[in-house]
Structure 1
Amino acid sequence: MSALVLSNFTGSIAMSMTLNILGRVDDELARSLHELRVPKPISVTPFAYGDDVLWGRRRIIAPGEVVRFRVSALDRVGSRLVEAFSNLRVVRLFNVDVVFDPVSVEVFDIDGFFNAGPGEFVLEFLSPVRFARRRTMRRRRVKYDFCPSMENIVRSGVVYWNRVVGDSRFKNWVRFLRWVYNYVYVSDFYGRVVSTRLPNSSQPQLGFIGRVRFEIKSKSESRIAQLWGLLRFVELMNVGTTRSLGFGYVRIKTDTHKPSPQ
């Protein structure tokens, strides 16, 4: 048996594997998702080895050791993925035969996301997150903002929601964003901007890694429920630019202890 060598950002490997597996039962759907140039109704996380999310360092996975990743998909894409995963046991990855073992399948009703949560919470950014800035002049390259502010998170989440879900919950999202700006505060912050690379690319990919503690200073139950619904959706589908490949992988923690440096 051979060891598996993983390096740089492994989310793109997870997506490639997922689409290859999907293509075994629905090649047309897999191709359309690969070629889609607008937000995709599917996302993955980078590989995780133990408690480490593999977004940058080189890691050698010995025979018998386990790496895991999560796939999140909406509507028909999700049902086709379940079908594809259920009929597969071994995949080929970098000329190594890898045992593929789906651990669990969870089905969520998005309507159930929109319940008010606590007024204090922590967002852990487990893979680099960055937010593309809109152009006000002609420029060739994308310009990124690496600040994990709630305004950036909400703007990114709402735009994605409106494009892939498309209901009316965030139709008047400018007023919602104004409420976020005035009533959601940062009370603690720890992290840094890191650099990684996508496979077959020499271009550095920057993003924020760390933890941010937020407090909601509002009594509007409807707005708080709206915010929590979006945050739960973001936790499921990632946030920011290149979310489908595993950038912007976040976890919500609702304990009351302040995050400590790591």
Structure 2
Amino acid sequence: MANRSSDEHKLWMRSFHPASPGAPRLLCLPHAGGSASFFFPVSAALGPEVEVLAVQYPGRQDRRAEPFADSVEALADELFRTLDPHDDTPLALFGHSMGAVVGFELARRLVAAGRPPAVLFASGRRGPSRVRVETVHQGDDAGLIEEMKKLNGTDLTLLDDPEMLQMILPAIRADYRLVETYRRGPGQRLSCPVVVMTGDADPRVTLDEARSWEEETTGAFELLVHPGGHFYLVPQHRAVNAQIREYLRRLAPRTDAQVRAR
């Protein structure tokens, strides 16, 4: 799947469970401050029917020694170069919060290269054309911690551990800077389907902002609303995984037995 060396590919893409031959691929992009391991439960739930790959951004966990990305676009460029242009396995993208924006920019690059993703799942994020001035990344550590508590996406015990905070806050701040300074650049709309998932009580995304993703594609659009806040997908994991699985089943090639049964 990678154009680069195997070791470099493993830096970006993490595979937690084996997949069946020919299984559609789901590339998962984490939220601000998140890591590939956030999607371990998704991989466990969808495998082996789906090959789940989770992206590990630079500057955290085993990539702590690497510099943070300069922009969302730079992240998308790196990911695009990592994907094998000759691999015809159906590729779906799932991005949560900041990951939805990274997924959108990656999808734009894939569309421009003539190999659009099978679907973009955009979770917990307003449409790219909806601009809101946000400056959390410019505040002090206390403000950043308060924001994380408000969104309820981080284990609260970590936020009370000074040593752990020293390790995770730089990555979180860097990611907030990326997503808060991101502005959609000019360019054509996507041609792939876009499925938007959101929580009905998300303090950062209104239903109108979630629905605005429809403006970003000429393909099919679907809005799925779940009970919960910004990290609705954790308590609603069964429903979310079921929706992803059902959509990706349409991408899997039929076996000879399935064809004969029609």
TM-score in terms of structure 1 length? 0.25
Question: Higher RCO, 1 or 2 (CA under 8 Å, sep at least 6)?
Answer: 1
Structure label with greater radius of gyration: 1
* Structure that is richer in strand per residue: 1
TM-score in terms of structure 2 length? 0.25
